[in-house]
């Protein structure tokens, strides 16, 4: 079991062979509730919905002041692929998920709340939806969803919040805050690189960015169980969430540009046929790198959530595998990426298992 810290955590290796899903679990002072959540997770495993041999569990302790990390270490010790990340201070749920996404190494990345209020047994539906979508989000409002032990006050607050979201942004979704979302890995890395919101409204910014980039969003009706002990404070958090939504609608000006490698391949590339040069390039790169193009004779390899040494190592890998390739380092802003919308990339060819969710919008 690996344990590390820091909001900018990077994977120390590729995903273990055969691992196809990274499940990120943000946790802040969840020591008392982890047992129940992991119990639901084990039930999903026993039902065959999650295979621990092909799943890496990434638990991100968001600067807890209780025994969250120690309790997680005990509860997850029986699973073969586990990473425990401990952030030195509290960043908020968005910051914790971002740290987990940065560390994730599988071709599909999902995140779930520590209380597992969304039935983990629905994981195949989320993964299956990625056969036709770039990201899949849980919805308590979609046809076929069920809500157990709903709080009237919480339901009214969620409905009001979603109205505000749809007025201030172009998200146009009925449930932005549901605590289970899944992404193709390049999509997750790109969206979380381009986001700055760290607290509860981070979902809105992620979905707003997805709309700006022309990505396809699938809504999965969920079975949701209300669990006592929520970290949300209705009054103070509602004010900050509305403020975050307003900023999401305007777009963040403080986002660091995405490091990008502009690759020009020499002459004919026999390994590129028949899939094309971009797909051939993506085939030997880590699964979290969006590869766009070719355009104007060049392929763009985006390196979201990567530090400088990792970007340079990626450039060296391309040069080693493609002798004669010209690799120039540049960067793309959110505005530039939005102008390239809809972003269609080699992740279209990495189909997930059978599609099992509608609608896709």
Span 262-287, pLDDT tens digits: 999 886 554 444 468 888 888 899 88
Stretch 192-211: mean pLDDT, rounded? 89
* Cα 89 to chain centroid, rounded: 21
Q: What average pLDDT is seen over the chain?
A: 83
Ordered domains of the chain (ranges, CATH): 2-250 (3.90.550.10), 258-349 (3.30.70)
Pairing status of strand 21-27 against strand 108-112: parallel
More confident residue, 127 or 174: 127
Neighbours of 331 (CB within 10 A): 13
For 226-262, how does the pLDDT look when each residue is reduced to its tens digit (9 = 90+)?
676 555 554 555 566 666 666 655 655 578 999 999 9
Q: Per the structure block, which two tokens stand in for 29?
A: 């002072």
DSSP 8-state class, residue 31: T
Is the per-residue pLDDT at 47 higher than 70? yes
Is the per-residue pLDDT at 162 higher than 90? no
Is the per-residue pLDDT at 355 higher than 50? no
Q: Write down the pLDDT at residue 327.
A: 96
Q: What angle do CA 171, 176, 180 make, to 5 degrees?
A: 135
The dihedrals phi and psi of 74, each to the nearest 5 degrees, come to -70, -45
């Amino acid at each position: 079991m690996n344990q590390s810290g820091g909001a900018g955590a990077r994977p120390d290796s590729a995903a273990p062979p055969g691992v196809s899903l990274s499940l990120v679990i943000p946790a802040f002072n969840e020591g008392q509730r982890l047992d129940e959540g992991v119990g639901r997770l084990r039930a999903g495993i026993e039902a065959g919905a999650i295979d621990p041999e092909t799943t890496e569990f990434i638990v991100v302790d968001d600067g807890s002041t209780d025994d969250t990390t120690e309790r997680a270490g005990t509860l997850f010790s029986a699973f073969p692929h586990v990473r425990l990340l401990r952030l030195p201070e509290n960043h908020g749920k968005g910051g914790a998920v971002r740290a987990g996404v940065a560390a994730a190494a599988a071709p599909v990345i999902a995140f779930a709340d520590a209380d597992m209020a969304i039935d983990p047994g629905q994981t195949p539906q989320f993964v299956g939806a990625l056969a036709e979508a770039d990201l899949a989000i849980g919805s308590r409002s979609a046809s076929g969803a069920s809500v157990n032990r709903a709080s009237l006050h919480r339901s009214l607050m969620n409905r009001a919040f979603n109205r505000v979201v749809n007025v201030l942004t172009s998200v146009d979704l009925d449930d932005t805050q549901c605590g289970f979302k899944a992404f193709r890995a390049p999509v997750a890395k790109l969206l979380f690189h381009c986001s700055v919101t760290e607290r509860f409204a981070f979902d809105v910014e992620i979905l707003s960015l997805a709309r700006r980039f022309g990505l396809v969003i699938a809504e999965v009706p969920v079975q949701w169980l209300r669990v006592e002990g929520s970290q949300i404070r209705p009054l103070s958090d509602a004010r900050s969430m509305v403020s975050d939504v307003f900023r999401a609608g305007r777009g963040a000006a403080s986002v660091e540009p995405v490091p990008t490698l502009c690759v020009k391949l020499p002459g004919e590339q026999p390994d590129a046929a028949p899939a094309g040069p971009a797909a051939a390039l993506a085939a030997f790169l880590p699964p979290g790198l969006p590869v766009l193009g070719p355009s104007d004779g060049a392929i763009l390899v985006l390196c979201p959530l990567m530090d400088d040494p990792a970007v340079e190592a990626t450039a060296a890998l391309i040069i080693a595998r493609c002798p004669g390739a010209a690799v120039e380092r540049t960067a793309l802003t959110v505005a530039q990426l939005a102008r390239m919308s809809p972003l269609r990339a080699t992740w279209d060819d990495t189909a997930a298992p059978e599609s099992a969710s509608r609608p896709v919008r």
